[in-house]
Structure 1
Amino acid sequence: MSGVTATPTAASWPEGLLLAYYGDDFTGSTDAMEALTAAGVPTLLCLEAPTSALLARFPEVRCVGLAGSSRGHAPAWMDDQLPTAFASLAALGAPILQYKICSTFDSSAEVGSIGRAIDLGVQQMRGRWSPMIVGAPRLKRYQMFGNLFAAVDGVGYRLDRHPTMSRHPVTPMNEADLRLHLARQTARRIELIDVLQLRGGAADVDARLAALAAGDTPVVLIDVLDEETLAAAGRLVWEGRGEGVFSASSSGLQYALAAWWRSCGLLPATPSLPDAPPVPVIAAVSGSCSPVTAGQIRWARANGFSVERLDLPGALDQHAAQAEIERVVSAAVEAVRRGDSVVVHSAEGPDDPAVTGFDAIAQSAGLTRHAAARQVGRALADVMRQLLDRTELSRVVVAGGDSSGEVASALGITALGVIAGLAPGAPLCRVWSDLPQRDGLEIVLKGGQIGDAGFFGSVRGGALRQ
């Protein structure tokens, strides 16, 4: 038989959770939650290790995530933090344990090492292989012959020539072949099932996987180019899960599993989320340095939003920081009270002097680059917290993966669930919190590469953009 998948047969899910994942940043964690929720798999994202008592409040949930921040940390931090996180998720009994990574593979041997996470995670599961799916066509991410590509404004780039990722300030991508890039982070054997092998048929690809799997638990990258190969990759992982597998993958894993389950008749034929209703006013904070977010800030400025810049030298100066935060908060509160939406940002694109001169700004404040970046995130978190405390805002946005982690952690959030679609990878979420003033808040955590120019307008107006 030719084709990439076996003929689906009558199937059913096992009891309990289907998948548990740790997100290496907060925006990616909501991206993964959106992928399964839209497909019809109830998913909950927790900000602390989920317990059976918490999950008992959500009996319909079939997938659970834990939002983390490992993407911005060194391997030593991972060694200290990830084993406990992985063990807590593995104890929930799902057959797939995922380390959810960015679909642009943000990582290096020094920061956000995906290889180190794999070496720690495979110890929690009994599988003889560790599948890796990075391609996600809905997010315009494609993997072919082991190389990762991403499309921007309709133009596809190999990732080492991508206008943003090739010059990322922390983890620049200078190698698009993920086998070579990952080999800098782990000594583990790395294999590939490529697009031609996938198209060769299910029996052939199953035989190849059987030949690759062994006691050393190799990483097996699986190409994804289109919806056909996406479903084939999902079948391979689901039917090859055995006694449980660990997978370091983007939300491509969620999309792939959903595609296969859909072909088996386990999920609705057409994935969908409700439209988000409009609200009169929103507030956003942004620590993103990407050109995509810069374009969104420019759109907001041109379309009636109040746009306030957080002055970084002031925010990083221990004597001036509170005054700078109060200045920005006061301006933002005044804007919201007169009915204007507001964006508070620390930079506007990769060529902003706040970005190009960040090392000098940090040095002047007596901080390392990493400590300064964390401090900027905390300042934005303080801005958002005070904005919520001093206004009646019901919907907010955080742009930037690291910023999202700092802000969400400061708001007293217990868990998040997707309630509506906006842009792929950035859903509208509902907050569950033990703090009455936060419970029910609507929040969007947006990665730097996500959304079109009018994204902030869509969050306010509720437009669903595919």
Structure 2
Amino acid sequence: MILGCIADDFTGATDLANTLTRRGMHTVQTIGIPKGGAPEADAVVVALKSRTIPAAEAVAQSLAACRWLKANGARQIFFKYCSTFDSTDEGNIGPVADALLDELQSGFTIACPAFPENGRTIYMGHLFVGGDLLSDSTMRNHPLTPMRDSNLVRVLGRQTKHRVGLVPYRAVRLGAPAIAEAYAKLEAEGVRHAIVDALEDRDLENIGAASSALPLITGGSGVAIGLPDSYRLARLIRRREGAAALTKAGGPGVVLSGSCSAATLAQVERFAAKHPAMAIDPAALAADPEKTVSDLLRWAAEKLKTGPALIYASAPPEKVSAIQAQFGREKAGEMIEHAIARLAGGLASAGVRRFVIAGGETSGAVVSALGVEALEIGPQIAPGVPACLSYGTPRYALALKSGNFGGPDFFGEALEALK
């Protein structure tokens, strides 16, 4: 293993694994920290469910993953979070990055969530989603991590007691040597975290090259674009082709959606117009969870006889707010996640082997319910979303989709790719 990665949610992990695989690194994603040794791979991505848990727990889990990766040979650590920098003023990005720097006895790292292919760019430290500032995007209404400040220097500065600086685009556009020089200057000035501007993939390739000597890199999957070539130049890995086709899982296909992002809501609407779809009723679920899950499983069993089906808890912001007000924010989320996990287990027992899952928290719940321990990474379905195949028996074909990713027809396209 050359690169050891820690992802703060399951869809983010597959996003990073997809980037590394497409750039020619043999990459395996594990679900949590493996109990034994590391799989044979150039890179291992440990998927945690730490994005929205208390910061102290996120730090503890991330440190445990870091120690396991280092013990299994990782030369460099990558802390992966969302390309929209999903977090709160209490963390978890800053506390985890600080703890990893201490663990690795390093005094400097970067923070670069840019992902131009999916419209995430950074200019003068401000994060843009498409043509909008992050604070003007739909992320401002995220039910768990509302992002209402686009200035990442400020956002990260509220999460760490250390200095946060900026590598501006005027340095980035000059290439890897200028970027590395900017790192050295900031570190000499006592800056521990540097937000790095990036507008296109070429910038990310140069940032990756400039960062190849850092013990720790933090960011979105985009900043990993330049790492594989750097490792090949150093003769640490051999050249490989991109992702190979996966073994066919067969069986019926189901979409389980818990994300409430604008992109996912459009995908739910498009899929439901052509295929059977059923919403999870929060009130019914709270009153009688056993009956609600059983009824949904019976409905799905009937519909899956003729084609794919969708079960969803996705809802627009005003409805999410009403549900949270009625049941409490944490209880509402846990109630939905638990139900979707039980649905996944029941569907798998009925023979379903193809799952498209929308939402990081939802993906974590489903993959855990299915008992998946590691994923083989296949071809890309949409930017940031690869086809995956679980190791072990039975083998599940999976697409784990971050809420904001994919076009309107993503659900149908993913099911087709997982055949």
Question: Are 1:408 and 2:367 counterparts?
Answer: yes
- Aligned: 1:341 with 2:308: yes
Is residue 165–residue 191 contact of structure 2 (8 Å, CA) maintained in 1? no
Q: Return the match for 1:427 from 365, 369, 386.
A: 386
Partner amino acid for 1:35? T
Report the equivalent of 2:278.
308
Distance 1:223 1:260, change over 3 A: farther
Structure 1 segment 30-49 matched on structure 2, within 5 A: 30-49=14-33
Q: Does 1:188 align with 2:162?
A: yes
Contact 1:278 1:460 in 2 (8 A): no
Q: CA deviation at 1:248?
A: 2.2
2:145 aligned partner: 171
Question: Bigger shift: 219-228 or 200-209?
Answer: 200-209
Residues paired across the two proteins, number: 418
Q: For residue 150 of structure 1, what is the amino acid of its counterpart?
A: V
Residue 195 (structure 2) pairs with residue 221 (structure 1): yes
Alignment of 1:232-243 (within 5 A): 232-238=206-212, 240-241=213-214
- 1:53-92 per-residue CA deviation (whole Å, 9 max, x = no partner) reads 443xx43x11001111111112232244333233222322
1:316-335 equivalences in 2 (<5 Å): 316-317=286-287, 320-335=288-303
- Structure 1 distance, partners of 2:369, 2:311, is 17
Q: CA deviation at 1:18?
A: 1.9
**Contact 1:26–1:67 (8 Å) recurs in 2:** yes
Name the aligned partner's letter for residue 400 of structure 2.
L
The match for 1:257 is 227
* 2:125 equivalent to 1:146: yes
CA contact 2:8–2:49 (8 Å) conserved in 1 = yes
Match of 2:52 among 62, 68, 72: 72
Task: Give the counterpart letter for 1:295 in structure 2.
Answer: A
Partner Cα distance (1:215, 1:380) in 2: 49
1:296 paired with 2:267, answer yes
Q: What amino acid is aligned across from residue 77 of structure 2 in structure 1?
A: L
- SS at structure 2 position matched to 1:142: strand
Q: Shift in Å at residue 31 of structure 1?
A: 0.5
Change in 2 beyond 3 A, CA 1:292/1:279? farther
Gaps of 5+ in 1: 1-16, 363-367
Inter-partner Cα distance in structure 1 for 2:146 and 2:263:
17
**What residue number does 1:121 align with?**
100
Amino acid of the residue matched to residue 324 of structure 1? T
Aligned to 1:160: 135
Say if 1:83 and 1:264 are closer, same or farther in 2 by CA, change over 3 A.
closer
**Cα distance in structure 1, aligned partners of 2:247 and 2:127:** 32
Does structure 1 conserve the Cα–Cα contact (< 8 Å) formed by 2:100 and 2:216?
yes
Quote the RMSD (CA, aligned, Å): 2.5
**1:309–1:346 contact (8 Å) kept in structure 2:** yes
* SS in structure 2 of the partner of residue 451 of structure 1: coil
2: CA distance between counterparts of 1:340 and 1:203?
54
Q: Taking structure 1 as reference, are residues 121 and 92 closer, same or farther at Cα in structure 2, changes over 3 Å only?
A: same
Say which is worse superposed, 400-409 or 200-209, in terms of deviation.
200-209
Match of residue 62 from structure 1: 42
Number of the residue aligned with 1:350 = 317
Tell me if the contact between 1:293 and 1:348 (Cα under 8 Å) persists in the aligned partners: no
Identity of paired residues, percent? Answer: 28
Partners of 1:276 and 1:157 in 2: CA distance:
40
Question: What's the CA shift for 1:361?
Answer: 2.9
Deviation of residue 403 (structure 1)? 0.8
Provide closer, same or farther for how the CA distance between residues 420 and 202 of structure 1 changes in structure 2, counting only shifts above 3 A: closer
User: Does 2:3 match 1:19?
Assistant: yes
CA contact (8 A) 1:287 1:347 kept: yes
Structure 2 spans left out of the alignment, 5+ residues: none
Question: Which has the higher mean CA deviation after the structures are superposed, 369-378 or 85-94?
Answer: 85-94
Deviation digits for residues 216-247 of structure 1, max 9, x if unmatched?
67112221111221111011101x32xxx122
One-letter code aligned to 2:121: Y
Q: How far is 1:202 from its partner?
A: 4.3
User: What is the one-letter code of the residue matched to 2:49?
Assistant: S
The 8 Å contact of residues 230 and 259 in structure 1, kept in 2 or not, is answered as: no
Following the alignment from structure 2 to structure 1, what is the Cα–Cα distance between the partners of residues 168 and 75? 24
Contact 1:232 1:260 in 2 (8 A): no
* Native 8 Å contact 2:177 2:210 kept in 1: no
Contact 1:72/1:402, CA 8 A, preserved across alignment: no
Q: Is the 8 A contact 1:280 1:460 kept in 2?
A: no
Q: How far 1:201 moved relative to its partner?
A: 4.6
Distance 1:251 1:28 in 2: 8
Contact 1:26 1:405 survives alignment (8 Å): yes
Separation in 1, partners of 2:334, 2:189: 40
* Counterpart code for 2:16: A
Question: What is the deviation of 1:123?
Answer: 1.6
Q: 1:413 to 1:449 in 2, by over 3 A?
A: same
Q: CA deviation at 1:25?
A: 0.8
Q: Which amino acid aligns with 2:285?
A: A
Q: What is the CA-CA distance between 1:144 and the residue it aligns to?
A: 1.3
Of 363, 370, 386, the residue aligned with 2:330 is 370
What's the secondary structure of 1:192's corresponding residue? strand
Q: Is the 8 A contact 1:279 1:462 kept in 2?
A: no
Cα distance per residue 1:90-139 (max 9 Å; x no partner): 322322212210000000124x5211111211122133311222112222
Per-residue Cα deviation, 1:126-157 (whole angstroms, up to 9, x for no partner): 33311222112222211111111112xxxx11
What is the TM-score with the length of structure 2 in the denominator? 0.92
The code of the aligned residue for 2:132 comes to Y
**Would the aligned equivalents of 2:267 and 2:411 in 1 still touch at CA under 8 Å?**
yes
Change (3 A) 1:264 1:195: farther
Q: CA deviation at 1:273?
A: 5.8
